[in-house]
Structure 1
């Protein structure tokens, strides 16, 4: 089989989900021609998927010997270097890719994430704007995007994107739009978020149906507001709480909560469709068992979706009040969280909700793919500076993080 045929066969195997055959075909192609840059790049991409980053870096370098002006390969190399924690080298390769191809949206976006994780918000948020070309979540609107124009007497529509947590994190900027003189602020969001969006005190209209949209003077996506307001780590609008809860929701959930001891909410899994879910979610509810060695704690499950079923059969070893299946939207979740002493969760929207409500929250972070907003180092967050604590993984993995959380829980329960 010729080298081009081998590359095509590898692509077909990859599309069919057979990574073993795809890898073998690419290695066969390289054996025929050691200078086959395409095969080296494609093989490196497969190696990255399987977590073999050192070997991936080697093949990217071999590809670049033949194609040194390839922005795509340099960007791929940067991604592998980033996974290895070689952030300075990764940054250099992203910048090289952008010099070769200034409008390379994926490289610009990934460089933005890398810089934001390092706390370089000025440059990071500028590159982060490239996400609109990467994801293309919405079409062009019949009125202009807001680029910093005078808002006095004007109306502005806020669009949400990415996950629920992004919306909750960035809705704090609505207060700054009001300070700029915005006369009317609307937000288009998922119905599940609508109840908490109505509690900001700064949003006039919450739109959950696209056909209900009307003309505004301007529009902007919520995650673009940090860039528009030239946010730095020191200038984050961190006036917490900035979300509230409706009293009738509080009353509806109060009878279902424990009367004695510390009330601790738990969320151990995030969105299963998230690219990094296998790293950021706890394997199984049973893995949290060490937390039950701490006396005086009333655990409450805030876990929505199918994952709450993992509690079944664990009632004696890990007794927990299961509320997840009864939660209709974030208004319900907020009403429960507002009545807790603490939320312990993985990196998911509940962390942002607890933070925005001013409720103590401990976030258990993954070993790989830590989101930029939690930065690379430290145990606190400038986005929620007072009541949030970050538990980072070390060589012990999830068992180590859970053990650290158990010890911290024992400290506050004693």
Structure 2
């Protein structure tokens, strides 16, 4: 038997079979077939193997073996310097790797070989665009379109270039031309969507992104862009779904991860949001926006030192991101580092002088330092920068009132009806009668409507008497339950209603008005403040509570309230931390203390220190009528800034109020130790800058000792 060796496949057969594998994306099989021709042990001269080398390079690229692909294409070009396909492949590889200058050189050499190659010229335009050589890139795209007006990619890339240059109308025309040339150009629809979004045409943009996704459902960029449009329109559940779909397709899609965090932040799922931002930064440590967004999340979670670090990292990477400077200042303020906060805000304004939020925060800090004229100027600068800045309008109004400038202050205070975040904004649509703006009241019916706190109503309830004196035939007061019994006998009030009943009956009234709006309508000044609301305790309740008070040993009786409503925006500063903060008062010999504390603090009142024989009545008080009957039998009321202070002063009872330094309420004005709203009855003990409460309480103790001669 004669044994024969099988003939090796011919190179052309190998090329055909390898090409078939390559087209089917079976790159490993293709490269294995080509190995005998192009590998290290190959004996054939490269000059005859340019097609095999080119195909092997394409296969290596498909396998992700970039280094080998580059070597194979370089061998191919060395063997056959005029082999156009190798120039095209190696140029595309360099462009993908970001090696733009070598890619440009290869495309230019390819065009010297094949001047009519419009795809090469279009790709050259892309490389030039990525190098910020916009004029040359635009010339390349226009040259392609002059030769082939239906070249969809050239229209598309020209559209992206024009968009980047801010030539939005031309960019839209180019992108629509790309779609006209290729109705299934998903990238062109996506580019059109981003352009329309920037033009403020959100609905059209969303439709463009949806068209891109109809063509290419697995298109993460389009999903991500659509998610952000849905977020902007408040459709947060849909936005979350879209961005999560983008991440299913591309789990390491950094921008989508960052946007997921933004959506979760808006959904108030802040712990999840900060986890998304941390994942973003794990993938892309230089992602400045993710550092900023992480700072916002940590700030919201009150993890202030971490938020400070995130904002500072943002500022290091993006010095022009003034929002980070402003937010850092807010963190520093919350940490009590107000001097640093003010410095940071001035730096932000050096970057952007018209940054309204920074002017607002500067004003708020200057107010805390007592630099009131400067604070006023800063609030006005905030409004110059943004005339619709609601918080700045409101804070300027309260600052002016606190400075005794009632005319402008109370007029500006009406801005609360234009601010959607305020309950006052909804009142206008709820009450089916006109708001009173100072018209004659003779023979008219008027609905006073409570929108603000209990203390506000006690302070401004005095105006019912004034309005009645102007001839109002019928005045009803719509208020919360704790006020109803007290106001049912108040001078000037003909009826007291709950809010629901009052809203139903509103159409029967000629006008409605908030009691806090009346000073503006009447032109109240510091010199024309009406006398306080007159509160007359009910005799039967006085007798009821006298029996409880009789359990005290003889001596001066001081009522105490050390905490206000926990929901108050400034409660952390206006309320005392614990009953123990009043401990210096326990050293007053012979003084008896009565607790009127309700809500937070009641547990402490029921279990006072052994050294404090405290009579706690607050838990048994039903409303202000009970409180009035108790306070009427005390010698002095000592309390924080809460409604009990207004009630005690309205009873004519001496009332000493402990006021916080930080974010002091406007009604207490500045520096003075008395209140023009309660002359002769109220004394104010103000916390000084950086002063702890025990020092304030010690001043109260000394004053008590002087008052009672002990």
* TM-score, L = length of structure 1: 0.94
Secondary structure at 2:381 match in 1: helix
**Does 1:341 pair with 2:635?**
yes
Query: For 2:639, what is the secondary structure of its paired residue?
Result: strand
Is the CA contact (8 Å cut-off) linking 2:648 and 2:654 kept in structure 1?
yes
Q: Which has the higher strand share?
A: 1
The answer to whether residue 515 in structure 2 is matched with residue 222 in structure 1 is: yes
Are 1:402 and 2:697 an aligned pair?
yes
User: For the residues of structure 1 that align with 2:474 and 2:629, how far apart are their CA atoms?
Assistant: 27
- Residue aligning to 2:452: 162
User: Is the 2:565–2:600 Cα contact (8 Å) retained in structure 1?
Assistant: no
Give 1:252-401 correspondences, 5 Å limit: 252-258=544-550, 260-314=554-608, 316-394=610-688, 396-401=691-696
Alignment check: 8 A CA contact 2:631 2:648 kept: yes
Q: CA deviation at 1:351?
A: 0.4
Q: Name the SS for the 1:242 alignment partner.
A: coil
Q: Is the 8 A contact 1:296 1:413 kept in 2?
A: no
37-46 or 108-117, larger mean C-alpha shift: 37-46
Post-superposition offset of 1:315: 5.0
CA contact (8 A) 1:304 1:325 kept: yes
Name the structure where helix makes up a greater proportion of residues. 2
From 337, 347, 357, the counterpart of 1:72: 357
The within-5 A match list for 1:123-202 is: 123-134=408-419, 135-137=422-424, 138-139=426-427, 140=429, 141-202=431-492
- Contact (CA 8 Å) 1:367, 1:397: kept in 2 or not? no
**Is contact 1:7-1:39 (8 Å) kept?**
yes
Matched residue of 1:187: which SS? strand
Q: Are residues 398 and 38 of structure 1, via their aligned partners in 2, closer, same or farther at CA, if it must alter by over 3 Å?
A: closer
* 8 Å CA contact retained: 1:106, 1:130: no
Distance 1:306 1:43, change over 3 A: closer
**Is 1:33–2:315 an aligned residue pair?**
no
* Alignment partner of 1:22 is 2:307: yes
Local SS of the residue matching 1:362: strand
Q: Residues 199 and 245 of structure 1 are in contact (CA less than 8 Å); yes or no, is this contact kept in structure 2?
A: no
1:254, CA displacement in angstroms?
A: 1.5
Q: Deviations over 1:317-348 (max 9, x none)?
A: 11011101101111111111112121111111
1:250 is matched with 542
- Pairs within 5 Å for 1:2-17: 2-17=287-302
Provide the aligned C-alpha RMSD in A. 1.9
In structure 2, distance between residues paired with 1:69 and 1:316:
58
User: Mind listing any 5+ residue stretches in structure 2 that lack a counterpart?
Assistant: 1-285
Once residues 682 and 298 of structure 2 are traced to their aligned partners in structure 1, the CA distance between those partners, rounded to angstroms, is 45
Please give the secondary structure, in 2, of the residue aligned with 1:130: helix
1:199 shift after superposition: 2.3
Residue correspondences, number: 413
1:204-215 mapped onto 2 (5 Å cutoff)? 204-213=494-503, 214=505, 215=507
C-alpha displacement at 1:361, in angstroms?
0.7
Measured in 2, the distance between the counterparts of 1:73 and 1:403 equals: 37
Cα displacement (A) at 1:312: 4.9
What secondary structure sits across from 2:683 in the alignment?
strand
Task: Find the partner of 1:234 among 522, 527, 530.
Answer: 527
Structure 1 spans left out of the alignment, 5+ residues: none
Question: For the Cα contact (< 8 Å) 1:241–1:358, is it kept in 2?
Answer: no
Secondary structure of the residue aligned to 1:378 is: coil
Say whether the 8 Å CA contact 2:654–2:681 is kept in structure 1. Answer: yes
